[in-house]
């Protein structure tokens, strides 16, 4: 059995008031924004913060360094920092959490800022990169 319900209305307008004017409008609630009204910006991480996040493993972890030069354990993908469409595909939803890194910092910073410019709001950068990861006593794969 199928049921089809079609309706047409103006969701933000109230019916004419009893006084006969129809100029009163009910403010509509805009759809939820992925960033909950907060201006998106890249959040930088230090090595210890990244290590803690890696334990939780609740984000997409992407190496954006060109050319490939190894990776930090737990890396989900290697996508060149200039391939913003591929980064978007790997991350998915605008409010999905993602951490980007490269070898020394500039490539991940550029990619992270490009994603913020496209509306992503939970983008993290590990600016110390693979060099900083090793310097701080962690190992690369």
What pLDDT shows up at residue 78? 98
What pLDDT shows up at residue 34? 65
Domains for the chain: give ranges and CATH numbers: 43-135 (3.40.250.10)
Q: Could you tell me the maximum CA-CA distance found in the chain, to the nearest angstrom?
A: 75
CA distance readout (Å), 15 to 5, 6, 28: 22, 20, 14
Count of other CB atoms within 10 angstroms of residue 124:
20
How far apart are alpha carbons 117 and 92 in whole angstroms? 15
Segments of the chain scoring below 70 in pLDDT: 1-34
What pLDDT shows up at residue 102? 98
């Amino acid at each position: 059995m199928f049921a089809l319900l079609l309706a047409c209305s103006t969701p933000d307008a109230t019916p004419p008031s009893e006084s006969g004017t129809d100029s009163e409008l009910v403010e509509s609630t805009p759809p939820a924004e992925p960033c909950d009204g907060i201006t998106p910006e890249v959040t930088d991480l230090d090595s210890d913060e990244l290590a803690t996040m890696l334990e939780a493993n609740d984000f997409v972890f992407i190496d954006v360094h060109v050319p490939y030069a190894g990776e930090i354990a737990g890396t989900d993908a290697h996508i060149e920092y200039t391939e913003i469409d591929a980064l978007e595909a790997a991350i998915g939803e605008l409010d999905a959490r993602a951490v980007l890194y490269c070898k020394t910092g500039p490539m991940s910073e550029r990619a992270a800022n490009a994603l913020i410019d496209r509306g992503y709001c939970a983008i993290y950068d590990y600016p110390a990169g693979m060099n900083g990861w090793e310097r701080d006593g962690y190992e690369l794969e």
